[in-house]
Structure 1
Amino acid sequence: MRTAWRATLGSVLVLAALIAPSTAAEAPRRVVSINLCTDQLLLALADPSQIAGLGPYARDPERSFFAARAMPFPSLSGKAEDVLVRHPDLVLAGRFTRRETRDLLAAKGLTLMTLAPARSIAETEAHIRMIGDALGHPERAAAEIAHIEAALARARAAAAKRPLRVLGVSRRGWISGTDSLSASLLSAVGLANAARDLGIGTGGFASLEQIVAAGPDLLLMEEHTTAAEDQGQAFLLHPALMRLYPPDKRILLPERLITCGGPMLAEAIDRLTTELKRVEGQEK
């Protein structure tokens, strides 16, 4: 337990009053989220009656895993004034939510819980546990964590057939790096991250030549692109990449599964398992 808390210190900023689990009687009744990732946690763990508002991207099906679940709830701009009129007793925000907004909400006496982006499965599970406790639903958090762990076990069995080096690449040659949530997924299931060979940690751009020289076995991508609508997509369709990494050398994980750390990781890991089985099947 102490190890889990130490792993979380760099990823979550939380008021001391919220560290202890809430009882049903103490649980907040009106909760507002103004960050995409805290939207996902709130939608997964709260009673519908507890949700007083969500961030501006909660309904976006490209970014939000729970976009359909978010539809009945108010969509807020994320600005302090929009939050204040909801009279919440708890506000969930991200570390990159505007500092001025967070300062104003705190100055108005609102209870604010701020989470940094989860960069690992361990941090994701710690966030789930913390939000579940804060909302008064620790049992729901435990169930979601169990789903993630079960998915990990299935993925490890699929990845154990042979070692593979994978490189996460997105538009214009952006590499997710070794210090990222997608990197944590690769490591957890026993796949090597080729970003390490490129010296990319938290993320950065790599040239086409660098990617080819790194020689990963597979590319990890967010979408299957067949036509370039802009320069960003054109990079992924370059003849050199298409020749070396046709569709059967590309693992696809949609953005909504890996942008945030949350319960959607169970589906992300299962999707990774399915993709690995597809690749292995085509190579036999």
Structure 2
Amino acid sequence: MAPPVAAAPQRVVSINLCTDQLAMLLAAPGQLISVSRIALDPRVSAMPERAARHHINAARAEEVHAMTPDLVVAGEYTNRDTVALLRRLGIEVVQFDIVHSLDEVRERIAQMGRALGREAQADAMIAQFDTDLARLRKGQGAAPGPDAPRAALYSANGYTSGDKSLSGEILAAAGLRNAPAEAGYGWGKLPLEILAMIQPNLVVTAERYPGGSRAEEVMDHPVVAGLRGPAARATISDQDWVCGTPFVLRAIGDMADARRRIEAGE
């Protein structure tokens, strides 16, 4: 006799921005009762208006326990003490790792589907993701060709991302070569001198936060400004890039538009 199928959780709390997004996309009506306060921030959250319909939490074990959830979804690097305390209190916690590739976007969607008992909805979302990704990639082949424009991701403190990262795969899916990766740089700080030497066709910087930040000043350096002509500029919208969700498709579309502007010489 087959074992009984576990009942889907009825009261789910998310305490991580990326699990917030996936849970809001996949949960049944009324199943997700709370999301983290970061989900309200439109600079990093793709669905702040939808998040506002839920109870907002500060990812503290005491407040989560008071909501009597039967499942908590969290990030792999969510505060370890919080996760440990919730488990000691008898609450199931499912943790989701950071996404490093487009394949892992599919894996996280499937993982959330299993956690919520919404496997069919997750399968449908993955199928739609694959269809939309294939449409964006159409005519570009499996990887950008040798004549494809070269892009450099350049954010606060001069950080960049290599090919083996979600950001790197977003560039490749848009038909762009990763100039720092070709120069031997993976994830980490890219010296300004190297950025100037590799002469990318496109410099992709991050959206600024309100107020002043010394970490962001490097993005205003004359070298960066000189590389960023009208066609050779783009800005990362963190809400589309930061989490492994179907919203990465919007980031790919934005980068593909930037590539077309370069190719057209606009």
If the TM-score is normalised by the length of the shorter chain, which range does it land in?
Answer: 0.7 to 0.9
- Separation of aligned partners in 2, 1:274 and 1:69: 28
Residue 257 (structure 2) pairs with residue 271 (structure 1): no
Q: Cα offset for 1:260?
A: 0.5
Q: Cα offset for 1:253?
A: 2.9
- Separation of aligned partners in 2, 1:138 and 1:52: 19
Residue 226 (structure 2) pairs with residue 243 (structure 1): yes
- Aligned position for 2:15: 34
Residue 263 (structure 2) pairs with residue 280 (structure 1): yes
Match of 2:42 among 58, 61, 64: 61
Preserved contact between residue 151 and residue 270 of structure 1 (Cα < 8 Å)? no
Q: Cα offset for 1:229?
A: 4.0
- Aligned position for 2:69: 88
Match of 1:148 among 129, 132, 150: 129
Residue 222 (structure 2) pairs with residue 254 (structure 1): no
Q: Which SS does the other structure have where 2:151 is aligned?
A: strand
The letter of the residue matching 1:195 is P
Moved more, 211-220 or 184-193: 184-193
Preserved contact between residue 153 and residue 204 of structure 2 (Cα < 8 Å)? yes
Moved more, 95-104 or 233-242: 233-242
Q: Which SS does the other structure have where 1:54 is aligned?
A: strand
Residue 153 (structure 2) pairs with residue 172 (structure 1): no
- Separation of aligned partners in 2, 1:102 and 1:190: 40
Unaligned 5+ runs, structure 1: 1-21
- Aligned position for 2:180: 195
> C-alpha deviations, 1:31-86, integer Å up to 9, x for none?
01111100000011102301121112011100100111100101101011111011
Q: How does 1:102-113 map to 2 (within 5 A)?
A: 102-113=83-94
Q: Which SS does the other structure have where 1:200 is aligned?
A: coil
Moved more, 250-259 or 231-240: 231-240
Preserved contact between residue 45 and residue 140 of structure 1 (Cα < 8 Å)? yes
- Separation of aligned partners in 2, 1:104 and 1:93: 13
Preserved contact between residue 202 and residue 233 of structure 2 (Cα < 8 Å)? yes
- Separation of aligned partners in 2, 1:275 and 1:27: 43
The letter of the residue matching 1:85 is A
Q: Which SS does the other structure have where 2:40 is aligned?
A: coil
Q: What is the aligned length?
A: 259
Give the root-mean-square deviation of aligned CA atoms.
2.5
- Separation of aligned partners in 2, 1:157 and 1:47: 33
TM-score by length of 1: 0.82
Moved more, 137-146 or 70-79: 137-146
Identity of paired residues, percent? Answer: 34
Preserved contact between residue 175 and residue 256 of structure 2 (Cα < 8 Å)? no
Preserved contact between residue 167 and residue 219 of structure 1 (Cα < 8 Å)? yes
- Separation of aligned partners in 2, 1:266 and 1:45: 17
Q: Cα offset for 1:151?
A: 3.1
Q: Cα offset for 1:241?
A: 1.6
- Aligned position for 1:211: 195
- Aligned position for 1:15: none
- Aligned position for 1:222: 206
- Separation of aligned partners in 1, 2:33 and 2:221: 46
- Separation of aligned partners in 1, 2:214 and 2:119: 46
Preserved contact between residue 94 and residue 115 of structure 2 (Cα < 8 Å)? no
- Aligned position for 2:170: 185
Which 4+ runs in 1 deviate beyond 6 A? none
